[in-house]
Amino acid sequence: MTPGRGARVWRALRRNPAGMIGLVLVAVIVLAAIFADVIAPFPDHAGAVGDFAAMNAPPAAPYLLGTDTIGRDMLTRILFAYRLSLEMAVVVLAITVPIGVGIGLLAGYLGPVTSYALMRLTDVFLSIPPLVLAMSIMGFLEPSALHGMMAVSAMWWPWYARLSYNLARAEKQEGYVLAAETVGAGVPHILLREILPNCIPAIFTKMTIDVGFVILIAASLSFLGLGAQAPTPDLGSMVADGAKYMPDSWWLTLFPALAILLIVAAFNLLGDGLREALDAER
């Protein structure tokens, strides 16, 4: 993306209120997660500690969002859970995007046999409901955040393969690709230096939206007890744990659930805003 194009996209995004709200929320959440150690009221409450004098306290100073059944500050644990959620999204996308894009570009550019084989494999993965596939994988693994990331990664790459395949198929017909082929450029050069740069805006937009969805799927796994394990703060497991105490100790469920809503909505708003900005720029 050229600097000029980036500036045009930024101007288009600034004219999109929803996109800007998403951007601000994402910025706030990311910064809060990065600096959780500094801004959390009780940083040690992210770990294996208990304050038995303050168990299950409703929201009131000094525990603005209340405490859990072990006496740990909910606000602190939500901030640290955001950190885990974002780490998870980054790791999952860092694994799945290169794999999915690589397969998609190869399938889109190379001959029909390779294309058919790779895309049918992709279709097999796409045909299985994502959460079911992740749960099946977790059936073989001990529940943990790392294994949760592996399970989500296994089901996420096909979406990027499908997107990149379609993009590569379209770009393959463009004159600049034909020109590169004419001067004898190799396949890696054509894929990585000619086609890929033109696919990046669309892939980046999808990644932005996907951050929210990855977090949502990871939270679903944790809700089922298949993700990060205690005492690691995790939004999904916090919702699940708190549900036992509804409606009396409502803060145990409501605030982590709102936290999930906020982060997923923020990335969706930003992603939609970026997509519209890119469309407008074109």
Interaction between residue 246 and another protein (CB under 8 A): yes
| Nearest approach, Cβ of residue 223 and another protein (Å) | 12
Residue spans of alpha helices (H) in the chain: 3-14, 17-34, 36-39, 74-109, 112-127, 130-138, 145-172, 175-182, 187-189, 196-223, 235-243, 251-281
Site for another protein in 127-146 (CB under 8 A): 142-143
Interaction between residue 69 and another protein (CB under 8 A): yes
| Nearest approach, Cβ of residue 240 and another protein (Å) | 10
* Longest pairwise C-alpha distance within the chain: 76
| Nearest approach, Cβ of residue 60 and another protein (Å) | 17
* 71-109 CB burial, b ≥16 within 10 A, e <16: bbbbbbbbbbbbbbbbebbebbbebbbebbbbbbbbbbb
Binding mask 95-134 for another protein (x = CB under 8 A): ----------------------------------------
- Four-residue CA torsion sign, 91, 97, 99, 102: negative
Q: Which of 27, 146, 200, 243: binder of another protein (CB under 8 A)?
A: 243
Interaction between residue 230 and another protein (CB under 8 A): yes
| Nearest approach, Cβ of residue 50 and another protein (Å) | 4
Helix (H, G, I), strand (E, B) or coil at 170: helix
| Nearest approach, Cβ of residue 246 and another protein (Å) | 4
Nearer to another protein, 49 or 128 (CB): 49
